[in-house]
A and B are shown apart, each in its own frame.
Chain A
Amino acid sequence: MTDALTAVTTEASGLFAGLKVADFTWAAAGPIATKQLADNGATVIKVESFKHPDSIRLGGPFIDDKPGINRSGFFADFHSSKLGISVDMSNPDAIEIIRPLIEWADVVAESFRPGVMKKWGLDYDSLRAINPRIVMLSSSLYGSSGPWARHPGYGAQGQALSGIHAMTGWPDRPPAMPKGAYSDSVSPRYALSALVAALIHRERTGEGQHVELSQIEATAQLLAPELVAYQISGIEGTRAGSRKPGSILHGVFPCLGEERWIAIEALTEAQFAALGQVLGASEALDTARAKGLDALDEAVAALTRPRDAFALMAACRAAGVPAGVANKASDLLEDDVLNAHGHFWPLDHAEMGRLKYNGPAYRFEKTPSALRFAAPRLGEHTEAVMTRILGFDQADIARFRDKGLLQ
């Protein structure tokens, strides 16, 4: 049987095969970015401090509903295909282990609050002194400069500050909290773009560099049209329920069953007419439309309420009307389209068993991505990485243990 380290270093396929990444990122935004490197063949070594492990190891859901350092599905999903080592980073001698890792690496990634890497002697200038070709990615919530740089925070604060939260909900109510933490899911796409561009630059010129990114700034790119409109027209866009200007019909409607909803849009007269046919009520919809948007929404809701959401979606699709069931997480795992893609990857974990991990949202025709193995347990690959990649022997490891650098 092939172990993970062999699989990573000698059997890797994918367009980043051979790329070496020292990954200090934690929480969500950083690990989601480095996951794209790992799932495309890079050797990604996640470095955790066993006295202060990745915070999302402490975030649910936990297997069997029991919290535990190696039991979080939240953590697991962002750590496919990564090796994990665990070192006491607060010990000044940790550099004895980390220095050869930096010498080995093409990329160092981190997502700590600004100042943490410097405290460890691992800021960009220190890294560059060890390895001049290094490309360093630093992603933090607010960015490494400015008055809020050192303020602690996580993604839910990020989606509030970048404008996503205020744009969600009903105009006559307080803004509704969007699920998740939009800055954690948007910013990795920007971080990865900048990082790969820096790698391309290094490939062409030999020059490494530091890529620094604020997760709220990257996420506020979603607001760029509103920021332009606000300056030119003075009009501030805001949350509008599910309506959208310019549409004949644009809403979310009830269907048969508990919490079953469908989004339906009619942007053109042809789509509106086709929807009337699908719902078997063309005249009623025309009448309601003449009375205004509220009346039209009510009329459509009355017609969709007794219908099966998935059957109605199929009928709308066949008629050319954009419609989508508001999928629940359970629906996603059964979704024909996602499954036809192979979006979910079943992976076996020693403590968590088999779980389906999310794969990439993109597909390469010739260099397919692959989720190669499950997330590492804390320190799972410490010895293997130290002996087989970093060149230490068992005597070194015993010495590091004595010093308290390793568990």
Chain B
Amino acid sequence: MSTAKTALDGIRVLELSALAGAVCGRVLADLGAEVIKIEPEGGEPFRRSLPRVSTAQGEESAAWLAFNHGKRSVTLDPLTDEAGFAALCASADIVITDWERLDLDTMDRLGRIARDANPALVWCEILPFGRGGPYERYPATDTVLQALGGHLYLNGDVDLPPVRISLPVGLIQGGAEAASAALMALWHALRTGEGQRVDVSVQACIVWTLLNSTMAWQILGLNEMRGGAIRKERANRFYTRLVWETRDGFIFFGPVGGGGGSARIKSYEALLAWMAEDGFTDPILTRHDWNGDGQFFIPQEDYDAVTAVIVDFIRTKTTDALMTRAVKDRILLAPISSVAGVFDNPQFRARQYFRPLADPDRGLEIDLPARWANLSQTPLAAPAPAPLPGADTATILSPLRQGSTA
């Protein structure tokens, strides 16, 4: 384990979680907190969630492994061992929990024990809709929240139903949101001694991914429509192509129309220069001031005509060749990276975003997407193996129990 000083050195976090709470704990552990998972005998249910991968420990959840490395694990049933749980809480700064692990009644009961034991404690709950009224008990899952948060409506091809993002984005973003909120509350607790409950609404986290949709409705009476490769972006009145097929994949690109300022103008000039080198010329390419004053009001048929020429050009290039030239000439495009594309991304690799993890108990040597920020004085903690169930029960609980009986 790294011994470099970390920002949250000495901060203790308890985690009673499934996915969302684990993501929150992951952020705090990366920042240097000691994160202790409280698990039932044999481990928490989320250890077995789908999809699973084979390790020397058997079948384990990929998401569990991705978000629980570098944490500790204590076997304890807080409902039957209230004293043990209270002692842990007295030693902690933050408790994280989420609704996929605990029902609300259990949260309320444990929250009381925890906060009685430690008035400076930050008690952080990740819930589908946050706290309050009848809605706090509505059943919800990640996809339901992608829908209720307004994002799902805006994704997918127009001739098929809207689609979810095939990742539990709400739960993961809810976890990240909870980390920032818990740290704000910790800032307050460290300065004043006052702990408090913080609750996060995953629905509201999803609303935040819309960026300008609630303003577009209020100001223009406009509900945007989903699109697949082609859609009306922002406040555009015409459909723009945003997904382009390359020789071996797809890129995202908005060459003309619909905002982007001087960078978009330069990008289009660089594209035209490259196309001309390859003999792709057509009067339509320069017929409009495509990215100038009229950019929001381009006739659809003109837009379609200019993109038809660009489509043909892009199909002659590989995704790598497009990105290499784009970086050289400042063309505003990007590969639509698959999982393998993210894993091999040269920018991530150059910045050492991926950090090696050796986990001998599981027979794993993998790269984790670990360095999500660079803190000059307190670097993120280096990856360490995820705990086996109850691995730290004796070392963590024994001193607390001795303390409470002394």
Contact = CB atoms under 8 A, between A and B. Distances in A.
Interface stretch (B36-44, B78-86, B298-306, B342-350): B342-350
B54 A163 contact: no
B254 A343 contact: no
A162 B61 CA distance: 22
B406 interface: no
Contacts of A200: 7-8, 11, 183, 186-187, 190
A255 B165 CA distance: 21
Interface residues of B, number: 154
B164 interface: yes
B173 A363 contact: no
A170 B242 contact: no
A325 B147 contact: yes
Contacts of A157: 252, 332-334
Contacts of B23: 221
B160 interface: yes
Interface stretch (A97-105, A140-148, A282-290, A378-386): A140-148
Chain B interface mostly helix, strand, loop or mixed? Answer: mixed
Contacts of B336: 160, 165-166, 175
A77 B208 CA distance: 10
B365 to A, nearest CB: 9
B243 A175 contact: yes
Contacts of B243: 174-177
Contact of A209 (B50, B176, B207, B376): B376
A60 B181 contact: no
Given A225-B62, A229-B53, A198 B219 contact: no
Nearest to A323: B144
A365 B254 contact: no
B121 to A, nearest CB: 12
Given A163-B339, A355-B215, A355-B219, A331 B374 contact: no
B261 A174 contact: no
B55 A223 contact: no
Counting contact residues on chain A (CB < 8 A from B), the size range is: 35 or more
Contact of A327 (B147, B204, B219): B147
Interface stretch (B135-143, B275-283, B308-316, B397-405): B135-143
B128 to A, nearest CB: 9
A242 B162 CA distance: 8
Nearest to A359: B204
A11 to B, nearest CB: 18
Interface in A231-255: 231-233, 235-242, 244-246, 250-254
Given A179-B213, A221-B176, A329-B217, A267 B141 contact: yes
Interface stretch (A86-94, A211-219, A394-402): A211-219
A151 B322 CA distance: 13
Nearest to B210: A180
Contacts of A363: 130-131, 198-201
B147 A196 contact: no
A151 B326 contact: yes
Interface string A319-335: 01111111111111101
A164 B143 contact: no
A200 B235 CA distance: 41
Nearest to B323: A148
Contacts of A198: 7, 375, 377-378
Given A218-B372, A236-B338, A60 B296 contact: yes
Given A60-B259, A212-B373, A228 B53 contact: yes
B384 interface: no
B156 to A, nearest CB: 5
A372 B329 CA distance: 43
B338 to A, nearest CB: 5
A312 interface: no
Interface in B352-385: 353, 364, 366-369, 371-378
A241 B163 contact: yes
Interface in A7-35: 15-16, 28, 32
A291 interface: no
A254 B159 CA distance: 12
A32 B368 CA distance: 27
A407 interface: no
Contacts, number: 537
B335 interface: yes
Given A164-B167, A265-B144, A329-B213, A152 B173 contact: no
B150 interface: yes
B203 A337 contact: yes
B194 interface: yes
B289 to A, nearest CB: 15
A226 interface: yes
B204 A341 contact: yes
B53 A212 contact: no
B203 to A, nearest CB: 7
A230 to B, nearest CB: 5
A358 B176 CA distance: 18
A133 to B, nearest CB: 12
Contacts of A348: none
Interface string A327-353: 111111101111011011000000000
Contacts of A225: 51, 61-63, 65-67
Contacts of A241: 160, 163, 166
B209 A210 contact: no
Interface in A115-167: 124, 142-143, 145-148, 151-154, 156-167
B146 interface: yes
B47 to A, nearest CB: 13
Which among A60, A74, A186, A197 has the greatest number of chain B C-beta atoms within 10 A? Answer: A197
B4 interface: no
A154 B260 CA distance: 9
Given A61-B212, A151-B330, A341-B201, A245 B51 contact: yes
A388 interface: no
A224 B180 contact: no
21 contacts: A58-B259, A73-B216, A74-B211, A145-B351, A148-B347, A151-B326, A152-B332, A160-B251, A161-B345, A164-B165, A170-B157, A178-B165, A179-B155, A180-B213, A213-B373, A214-B347, A220-B348, A233-B62, A245-B50, A330-B223, A340-B132
Given A145-B351, A192-B183, 7 more contacts: A147-B350, A196-B187, A238-B339, A331-B150, A332-B213, A363-B199, A367-B185
